[in-house]
Amino acid sequence: MLTAIQRYAGVSCTALGVQDLPPRGVGPRVVEHHVALVLLAGSGWFSWGGRERIRVGAPALLWLLPGVPHCYGPGAPGWTVAFAGFSGPALAACAQRGLVPAPAGAVAPLATGAPAHRTIRKLATVCNESEPAYDATSAAGLHELLAVLRRSRTEPPPGPPAVVEELARAAHLPVSVAEHARRLALPLPELREEVQYTTGCSPKDFVLGTRLNTAKDLLATTDLKVAAIARRIGYADPGHFTRLFTRRVGVPPGAFRAGYPPGPH
């Protein structure tokens, strides 16, 4: 259970340590909280969420996601990992800022594992309930570790836009979530996992929220008729758009527009 200070800080420590693992397979397992495994020495394989095994080697970050099955196998002569477990409401915001990897980025090469190793060792000295103010110092140390891990990650070469960015750009298209997944070349469950993890809502709710935000902007800054705005964001039936807007926003589109004074915005 989180203390008042941990609730305010938004994060608490659930596991911590440094461990030497022998060359044998482990899992599949499921963890209840986020766990960052920093591979300090050795190499082997790692798999998560039913994906194919991939080769990993130190220094690297392996992120165990809550509720997502994972398994791994150190190669001979074994590997050394430093690990820290995280829990708390701040992790959703940390994920949006890139401090917690998305599911597709659960494995990341590191420029060096030394800073994370030092931070985890420092955390071990304060993550003790018998220590004064342990909750405040451990929460501060966990935020520091998240920042250290982000700085230590080597930047991948430029790639395609993130899934959520692509989905936002295509939100106005009058197509189903399944069709969005097909257009993004993703299995539907993987699209749901990625969007839920990054935004905290389902793809359907994300698309709807994106459409309504666009509609609100157009209502406030243009003179377009409601029917034209409806078509622009993917609704052929302006009546359906008006009912949906009213239910979600709390006022009809015309009343929403009336709340903004005329003139440049």
- Give the burial class of 7: count Cβ atoms within 10 A of its Cβ; 0-12 exposed, 13-18 middle, 19 or more buried: middle
pLDDT, one tens digit per residue, over 173-228 is 999 999 999 998 888 888 888 887 777 788 999 999 999 999 998 998 888 999 99
pLDDT, one tens digit per residue, over 95-134 is 777 788 777 888 999 999 999 999 998 888 877 666 656 6
CA distance linking residue 184 with residue 163, whole number of Å: 8
Per-residue pLDDT, averaged over 226-249, amounts to 93
Domains of the chain: 12-152 (2.60.120.280), 163-258 (1.10.10.60)
Cα-based angle 87, 90, 93 (whole degrees, multiple of 5): 130
Check whether the bond before 28 is cis (ω within 30° of 0).
yes
- Give the pLDDT of residue 162: 73
Q: What is the pTM of this model?
A: 0.56
